[in-house]
Amino acid sequence: MNGLPSLPFEIDAFGRVALLLIAAIAGAEVCERWLRLPRLVGYVLAGLLLGPAVLAWVPPGITGDLRPLVLLGLGLLLFELGSRVDLRWLRHNPMLIVSSLVESGLSFAATYLFLAWFDLASASCAAVAAIAVATSPAVVMRIVAENHARGQMTERLMLMTALNSLYAILLLEISVGMVHLDRNAGLLQAIADPAYSAFGSFLLAAAMAYGMHLARFSQLQRESERFALVLAVVLLGTTLADRLGLSVPMALLCGGMILRTLSQRLHLFPEHFGAAGALLVIILFTLTGVALDPRQIAAGGLMSIGLLLIRGLAKYFGAYVSAGHGGLVPDKAVWLGVALLPMSSLAVLQAHEVAGLYADFGDEILAIVLGAVLIMELLGPVAIQLALRRSGEAMPHRGEGEV
């Protein structure tokens, strides 16, 4: 009888990943059907529930083991967001740049002043403020797709998310430079490091985009092969940026934007990269949930909540700048401010990166940022979905004869 396994047997890592995925889908169904929340919230909640913070059902090393998949999922969404941004639009409607700069500048300044009021070190304040500038590209892309949203606010939401993510990356590099200065490193290093990262990432992005363009990407007839090629480029970009000490998100975002400028035929991208892309997105958000720890809310405490309120107000007013003269219907501009609220899960990566540089510098930041991110992981998707539906740009039940 030794051909039969002995029961009960230990569920291995594969089995646990499978359970995690099943829980994510179940969570998404519950959220959509009964709670009328975005499916995305279900993925995150399932991860949080099975993760170490609550049931501890998933193997402890899972976030590390699956990190390449998470980075790939995030990379695809960043690249796709970049490819949706047409820089020519900025030339024809300069109010968009004004609105974007005001929104991001206000977010940065308000957050910085709020933190400085609590006597945090100025470099820490700057780092948190930089992270607060970004809207989550992943959440935006996912919720827009889930709701089949189209319209002027949706277009602007994607554009401003791409831009504020870029500003955030640059500002964070600069604030890291300030840390170097604080710690008596040479001025040269304080300037050279951010400059190397910014220019290097841009050059890498240009190389990726030109490579794809020259390879006549759009002539490939099979959608599956176009997807495989995009995947390869994202992997290559991620790995090269990582090895060269450049900014991965900046390289991917810029890569998408440059490719869009080179080619008008990006509708040939499979929508949200088809089923394989969707799987990566589910893994991305579920594992984001696994990594969340509710105790961080306690650690970040009122600072996190205060930060979110201040940041929210700044984004809201900034977005309103594009109302009227910028061509956005005022009713929609109001909701654009709400849709820009989700904080970037990039922020988690960025915060960890900064924390890795200087241990004591990182701790203050980590607590506040992670607390705010945790709240926003759950509220952010709800905010965007509400904004898309109230502005009339969502089409939640596409094809079911709604009016």
Partner 1 sequence: MALESFKSSRALSLGVELELQILDTHDYALTPMANDLLYWVGRHAEHPGNIVPEITQGMIEISTGIHSTHQTLNAELGAIRDFLCRGGRELNLALCGGGTHAFQHWGDTRIFDKERFHYISDVYGYLAKQFTIFGQHIHIGCPAPDEALFLLHSLSRYIPHMIALSGASPYVHGHDTGFASARLNSVFAFPLSGRAPMVATWAEFGDYFEKMTRTGVVKSMKDFYWDIRPKPEFGTIEIRVCDTPLTVGHAADLAAYLQALCRYLMIERPIVPVEDDYLVYSFNRFQACRFGAEGVLVDPKTGEHTSLRDDILETLAKIEQHAIELDADAACARIKAQVEQGESDAGWCRARFAEFGSAPELMRAQARRWREA
Which chain residues interact with partner 1 by CB under 8 A?
A: 84, 86, 88-89, 92-93, 150-152, 155, 221, 264-268, 271, 324-325, 327-329, 332, 392-393, 395, 398-401, 403
For partner 1, the closer of residues 28 and 144 by Cβ is 144
Q: What is the largest CA-CA distance in the chain?
A: 80
- Pair 397, 158: CB distance under 8 Å: no
Whole-number Å distance between alpha carbons of 267 and 255: 16
Pick the closest to residue 179 from 168, 167, 194 (CA basis): 194
In angstroms, the CA 136 to CA 67 distance is 18
Taking the complex as a whole, the smallest distance from the CB of residue 319 to partner 1 amounts, in Å, to 15
Closer Cβ to partner 1, 89 or 118, answer by number: 89
Of the pair 39, 332, the CB lying nearest partner 1 is at 332
Least distance (Å) from partner 1 to the CB of residue 5?
Answer: 50
Tell me how far the alpha carbon of residue 80 is from its chain's centroid: 12
User: Element (H or E) spanning 235, and its range?
Assistant: helix 223-243
Shortest CB 238 distance to partner 1, Å: 24
155 versus 173: smaller Cβ distance to partner 1: 155
Tell me the closest approach of the beta carbon of residue 158 to partner 1, in angstroms.
9
Minimum distance from CB of 106 to partner 1 (Å)?
23
Q: Cα–Cα distance between 342 and 346 in angstroms, integer? A: 11
Q: Which is nearer to partner 1, 150 or 295 (CB)?
A: 150
Kindly state the smallest distance separating residue 222's Cβ from partner 1, in Å: 13
User: Distance between CA atoms of 314 and 110, rounded to whole angstroms?
Assistant: 7
Q: Is 135 helix (H, G, I), strand (E, B) or coil?
A: strand
Q: Which is nearer to partner 1, 63 or 93 (CB)?
A: 93
| Backbone angles phi and psi of 3, in degrees to 5 | -75, -25
Dihedral (C-alpha) 115, 116, 117, 119: value to the nearest 10 degrees?
A: 100
Is the Cβ–Cβ distance between 362 and 355 less than 8 Å? yes
Closer residue to partner 1 in complex, CB, 224/264:
264
* Angle at alpha carbon of residue 160, lines to 63 and 76, rounded to 5°: 35
For tokens 């504020």, the residue is 164
Q: In angstroms, what is the minimal distance from the CB of 381 to partner 1?
A: 22
- Closest to partner 1 by CB, 86 or 193: 86
Shortest distance, CB of residue 401 to partner 1, whole angstroms? 7
Nearest approach in angstroms of CB 152 to partner 1 is 4
306: nearest Cα among 295, 318, 297: 297
Q: At what angle do helices 274-291 and 13-33 cross, to 10 degrees?
A: 100
Q: Rounded to whole angstroms, how far apart are CA atoms 254 and 265?
A: 17
Residue with smaller CB distance to partner 1, 81 or 205:
81
